[in-house]
Amino acid sequence: MNRFFRWLDGGDEYQPPPSEINAEAREHMGQGRLGEHAKRLMADPVLLMAFDLVSKKLRDTWAASAPADTEGRERVHAELRGLGRVRGELLAMIGDVKLLEAEEKRREAELRQRG
């Protein structure tokens, strides 16, 4: 088991780069397990609160910035978009699970009809 999966299971402090997570996690865990992890994360009230707090702080920072501070406003906007991308990826993983489950149910129904 490589360091990423030990970290994922809480085994060490390793912080994998995103490219390693994407390639190895999808290969090792499969979309179903990733989706189940994503579902648990999106149901975690602490994570949801963190998303909301970060989003609020970024919006407040943007609102308090000077109109001439284009660089600062662009940075805040980029951070908000990044936060949205994280949520979007988690939701996409959950959607993948729902598609896999629907496909499995369709196959089971097809097998029952044949047998």
Q: Does residue 82 sit within a domain?
A: yes
Q: How far apart (Å, rounded) are the C-alpha atoms in residues 46 and 75?
A: 25
User: Considering the entire predicted model, what is its pTM?
Assistant: 0.63
| Tokens found for residue 49 | 């609160």
User: Total structural domains in the chain?
Assistant: 1
Q: Does residue 6 sit within a domain?
A: no
Query: What is the domain extent for residue 101?
Result: 31-114
Nearest to 25 by CA among 42, 44, 12, 6: 6
pLDDT given for residue 1 in this prediction: 45
Q: How far apart (Å, rounded) are the C-alpha atoms in residues 21 and 105?
A: 29
Q: How far apart (Å, rounded) are the C-alpha atoms in residues 9 and 99?
A: 26
Q: What is the pLDDT along the chain (115 residues), one digit of tens a residue?
A: 455 455 455 555 555 555 555 666 666 667 677 888 888 999 999 999 999 999 999 999 999 999 999 999 999 999 999 999 998 888 888 887 777 777 888 888 888 888 7
Q: Does residue 22 sit within a domain?
A: no
Q: How far apart (Å, rounded) are the C-alpha atoms in residues 10 and 54?
A: 24
